[in-house]
Amino acid sequence: MLNVIDPGLLTTVQDLGRLRWYHIGMPPAGALDNFAFRVGNLLVGNSEGAAGLEMTYTGPQLELTTETLIAVTGAEVTLQINNQPAILWRAHRVVPGDCIGLGSVRRGARAYLCIAGGVDVPERLGSRSTYMLGRFGGLDGRKLEANDQLQLGSPAVSFEKMLGRTFDPALIPTLSKEMTVRVVIGMCSHRVTAASLREFLNATWEVSTEADRIGYRLKGPTFEFKSGEQPFGAGADPSNVVDLGYPIGSIQIPGGLEAIVLLNDAVTGGGYTTIGTVIKSDLDLIAQASPGCQIHFNEVGIEQALQARRDREARLSLIRMELGIFDQAGALGQ
């Protein structure tokens, strides 16, 4: 059991997300920094999809009533076990009564606590992820509160086998206040002028204070739309289109006044012009961006996007190998 003494600013149960329900308006939810979360699970001997905790900006204080392994990955944050500092991206053994404390993030935005066996809340539509706007999944569809108690699943492998296993720290992503994310331009991008699209790619975008699991609002130049009559049913504003589906990572420009990148708790569709989509592997970077961070968009083609995807999986494979894990499900080699 995991007891919540202090929940921190915003801590939720997440796994790899709820797929196949976008068509009813249910976004996947799931850990925003997919890479950090999967590594966290690998470190404690879980399958990559076991549920853990995502904490935002300020972490929780927790007490464990079970002997287990934990690992914290993602943002740079102070981790203490019984007030003793412990290092990130490494498995630690904890025994009943141990207190785990996470401080405020120094770099990045979201840290992940993975526990051997995973957090055992009921699966809903195939996932344990919390989707707060829809009051769905996780613990009663909400963020954690003081005095909450979370059940833990049974660990897949013995603690002794996982303890002490490490990987090359060069494989840990570096966090920065300034980042370049790759984007595939398209969808309704033909509705804005070529000059406006160029400016979008050349500009420095600043993360606003309205940046959460649904989406990140970015401040930068305004957009100009090509002139022409609005299609029937689209709405009067030139940034309106007949409502369509929004991919996770898509960039919309309501009113042409700002750019919003949708993340895992996205609204699944609507009537704003979308000009492109951030590639899957770079959504991890946005997950670690906080208000004031600067973002540059770099246009890539579909083959480059697919290559970036393979590169990220290759890095994960390397980590699995160094940890002595030889299959995707996290089964342990000798």
Partner 1 sequence: MSDTRYHYGGDEYLLVIFSEAMDLAINFKLLSICHEIKHRQVSGVIEACPANASYLVHFRPEEVHPDQLIRTLKDIENEIQHANTLQSRLVDIPVLFDDPWTKECAQRFADRHQDPSVSNLEYLMRVNGYSSKQEFISAYCDRPFWISMVGFVPGTAWCYRMCPPDQAIQAPKYIRPRTDTPERAVAHGGVFLCIYPVRGPGGYQMIGMSAVPVYDPEEHLPDLRGRYILANAGDRWKFRPIDMDEYNDIRSQVEAGSYRYHIVEQDFRPSEYIRDPSSYLKRLQKEAVG
Q: Give the separation between CA 240 and CA 14, rounded to whole angstroms.
A: 33
Token pair of 21 as six digits: 């329900």
User: Should residue 19 be labelled a site residue for partner 1 when binding is judged by CB under 8 A?
Assistant: yes
Number of residues that bind partner 1 (CB under 8 A): 50
Shortest gap between Cβ of 13 and partner 1 (angstroms)? 16
- The SS3 call for residue 131 is strand
Cβ-based nearer residue to partner 1, 14 or 130: 130
Beta-ladder partners of 94 = 68
Residue among 20, 106, 177, 226 that touches partner 1 (CB under 8 A): 20
User: Should residue 309 be labelled a site residue for partner 1 when binding is judged by CB under 8 A?
Assistant: yes
CA 205 remoteness from chain centre = 20
Stretch that binds partner 1, among 16-24, 102-110, 115-123, 167-175 (CB under 8 A): 16-24
User: Should residue 141 be labelled a site residue for partner 1 when binding is judged by CB under 8 A?
Assistant: yes
Cβ-based nearer residue to partner 1, 96 or 231: 231
Residue among 35, 136, 205, 223 that touches partner 1 (CB under 8 A): 136
Residue among 187, 197, 286, 316 that touches partner 1 (CB under 8 A): 187
- Alpha-carbon distances, residue 201 vs 117, 205, 263, 296 (angstroms): 44, 10, 20, 7
Shortest gap between Cβ of 62 and partner 1 (angstroms)? 26
Residue among 55, 71, 197, 305 that touches partner 1 (CB under 8 A): 305
- Alpha-carbon distances, residue 15 vs 38, 50, 238, 326 (angstroms): 9, 6, 38, 21
> Any idea what the Cα angle at residue 190 is, between residues 185 and 191, rounded to 5°?
120
> Any idea what the Cα angle at residue 83 is, between residues 80 and 86, rounded to 5°?
30
Cβ-based nearer residue to partner 1, 169 or 301: 301
Whether residue 1 contacts residue 150, with contact meaning beta carbons closer than 8 Å, is answered with yes
Whether residue 57 contacts residue 104, with contact meaning beta carbons closer than 8 Å, is answered with yes
Whether residue 268 contacts residue 235, with contact meaning beta carbons closer than 8 Å, is answered with no
User: Should residue 25 be labelled a site residue for partner 1 when binding is judged by CB under 8 A?
Assistant: yes
Residue among 173, 186, 221, 291 that touches partner 1 (CB under 8 A): 186
Site string for partner 1, 215-254 (x = CB under 8 A): ----------------xxxxxx---xxxxxxxxxxx----
Beta-ladder partners of 73 = 112
Q: Are strands 215-219 and 259-262 parallel, antiparallel or unpaired?
A: antiparallel
Site string for partner 1, 255-284 (x = CB under 8 A): ------------xxxxx----xxxxx----
Binding site for partner 1 (CB under 8 A): 19-26, 125, 133-136, 141, 183-184, 186-187, 231-236, 240-250, 267-271, 276-280, 302, 305-306, 308-309
